[in-house]
């Protein structure tokens, strides 16, 4: 483990820091390159075909270039839960680049969440500084928040490519963000439910977010809302009560009972959106169509029962897998050439939209098999 890893371990006390995968020995600039060989991905209904094509094109162009050894740091908020597929993807990419003699580095992150948010953000800032001091030439990071902005700005100013994953920091001058674009994801989920709704008038209840302190939550909610309002439905946004499931369900129940025109469908936009089923049941409306977000075990169970018609799942694995390749592409090909290759999924000059998987209720087992195959289970 690197010196930085030891520092972070000490900072977290008993928290174990783990290198999630592979290193390689770099070779000299200009030497004939060993071609990068990607881990094969089988084709099925959930394969992200367009993203795979983009990665193939990026790898092809990198393979044409002379070798540019890079010391890379991949720093994740966690190696577990939601971030486990990101760690898997990043580890695989670092391993493939390392086998071709192009990258040395590890995927680092805590294995528990014992530190508070502010403490963890401060520790991550320290780790970035240490990585830069130790010679990092590329950084891929899931940042904790605005407290990381200044240190990332400094790294970029020093000529270090920085790619953010999952959480964006637009003011940090990072070159590229890879993740779910919240407005687009909300629209996608809205379109799924829209096709299941009876003809209006009617009210759609959104299990969403309105507090501007969480921008992504607000944007995802707005994206869904636009779909229903454009189709002529009334919209009722129920702000999620994260820390009190009983209260969350009870408030939804009362909102469903009081809605005028009546509620004709529900949509949940976050990991606990399975609560929409509980709210509808409590209101005596078990037949309302419901679609959700993410793939919580309770969501999967309700899908198997036919209570949730479809869910929308983020592509964390691809965020992790793309990060190291993009950071290396910026060094090897330059930023403009890398952006050009990524253009099909870029919504502007700096944001790569991964999109979401749309999983119908009848495909839960197949989707689980797909996640197992690519190593993206949480």
Residue pair 361/193 in contact (Cβ under 8 Å)? The answer is: no
Segment among 20-24, 60-64, 153-157, 217-221 with least mean pLDDT:
20-24
Render pLDDT for 166-196 as a digit per residue (tens, 0 to 9).
989 999 999 999 999 999 999 999 999 999 9
Give the other-Cβ count within 10 Å of 262's Cβ. Answer: 14
Residue 82 has a pLDDT of: 87
pLDDT exceeds cutoff 50 at 153? yes
Q: How far apart (Å, rounded) are the C-alpha atoms in residues 335 and 282?
A: 53
Enumerate helices (H) and strands (E) in the chain, giving the number of each.
Answer: 13, 13
Q: Which spans in the chain are helix H? A: 3-11, 49-64, 84-99, 117-133, 149-157, 182-194, 215-230, 245-258, 275-282, 297-304, 316-332, 335-342, 364-374
Q: Tell me what percent of the residues of the chain surpass a pLDDT of 90.
A: 79
pLDDT value of position 207: 98
Q: Does the pLDDT of residue 23 top 50, yes or no?
A: no
Q: What are the angstrom distances between the C-alpha of 76 and each of 58, 200, 290, 331?
A: 23, 45, 33, 21
Q: In this model, does residue 32 exceed pLDDT 60? A: no
Provide the mean pLDDT of the chain. Answer: 90
For residue 118, what pLDDT is reported? 86
DSSP three-state, residue 311: strand
Distance CA 139, CA 105 (A): 10
d(CA 42, CA 354): 19
Beta carbons of 125 and 147 less than 8 angstroms apart: yes
What b-and-e string marks burial along 111-136, b requiring 16 or more CB atoms within 10 Å of the CB? eeeebeeeebbbbbbebbebbbeeeb
Q: What is the pLDDT of residue 111?
A: 80
pLDDT band (50, 70, 90) for residue 113 = low
Q: Rounded to an integer, what distance in angstroms lies between the CA atom of residue 112 and that of residue 15?
A: 7
Cα–Cα distance for residue pair 141/138, rounded to 1 Å: 10
Pick from 328, 323, 347: nearest CA to 61: 328
Which region holds residue 294: left if phi is over 0, alpha if psi is between -120 and 50, else beta? Answer: left
Q: For residue 367, count other CB atoms closer than 10 A to its CB.
A: 21
Q: CA-CA distance, 32 to 291, in Å (whole number)?
A: 52
- Element of type H or E holding 139: strand 138-141
Q: Domains of the chain by range and CATH?
A: 3-180+315-358 (3.40.50.2300), 182-313 (3.40.50.2300)
Nearest to 121 by CA among 20, 8, 17: 8
Which tens digits make up the pLDDT trace of 266-319?
A: 999 999 999 999 999 999 999 999 999 999 999 999 999 999 999 999 999 999
Q: pLDDT class for 20, splitting at 50, 70, 90?
A: very low
Q: What is the mean pLDDT of residues 324-351?
A: 97
* Model pLDDT for residues 203-257, shown as the tens digit of each residue: 999 999 999 878 889 999 999 999 999 999 999 999 999 899 999 999 999 999 9
Rounded Cα distance between 281 and 169, Å, is 40
């Amino acid at each position: 483990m690197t010196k930085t890893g030891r520092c972070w371990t000490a900072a977290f006390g008993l928290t174990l820091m783990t290198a999630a995968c592979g290193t390689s020995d770099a070779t000299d600039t200009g030497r004939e390159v060993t071609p990068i060989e990607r881990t094969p991905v089988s084709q099925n209904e959930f394969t992200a075909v367009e993203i795979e094509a983009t990665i193939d094109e990026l790898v092809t162009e990198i393979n044409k270039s002379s070798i540019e050894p890079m010391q890379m740091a991949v720093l994740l908020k966690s190696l577990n839960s939601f971030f486990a597929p990101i760690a898997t993807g990043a580890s695989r990419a670092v391993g493939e680049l390392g086998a071709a003699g192009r990258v040395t580095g590890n995927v680092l992150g805590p294995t528990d969440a014992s530190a508070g948010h502010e403490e963890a953000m401060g520790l991550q800032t320290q780790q970035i500084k240490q990585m830069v001091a130790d010679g990092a030439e590329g950084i891929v990071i899931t940042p904790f928040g605005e407290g990381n902005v200044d240190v990332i700005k400094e790294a970029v100013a020093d000529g270090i490519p920085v790619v953010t994953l999952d959480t964006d920091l637009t003011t940090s001058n990072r070159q590229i963000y890879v993740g779910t674009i919240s407005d687009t994801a909300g629209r996608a989920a809205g379109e799924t439910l829209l096709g299941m709704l009876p003809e209006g008038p009617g009210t759609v209840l959104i299990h969403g977010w309105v507090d501007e302190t969480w921008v992504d939550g607000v944007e995802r909610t707005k994206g869904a809302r636009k779909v229903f309002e454009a189709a002529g439905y009334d919209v009722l946004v129920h702000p999620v009560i994260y820390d009190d499931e009983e209260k969350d369900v009870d408030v939804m129940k009362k909102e469903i009972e009081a809605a005028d025109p009546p509620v004709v469908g529900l949509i949940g936009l976050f990991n606990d959106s399975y609560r929409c089923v509980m709210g509808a049941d409590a209101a005596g409306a078990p037949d309302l169509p419901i679609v959700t977000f993410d793939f919580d075990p309770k969501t999967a169970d309700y899908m198997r029962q036919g209570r949730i018609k479809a869910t929308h799942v983020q592509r964390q694995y691809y965020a992790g897998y793309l990060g190291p390749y993009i950071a290396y592409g910026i060094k090897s090909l330059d930023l403009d050439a890398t952006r050009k290759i990524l253009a099909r999924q870029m919504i502007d000059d700096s944001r790569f939209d991964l999109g979401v998987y749309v999983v119908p209720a009848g495909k839960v087992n197949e989707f689980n098999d797909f996640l197992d195959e690519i190593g993206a289970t949480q």
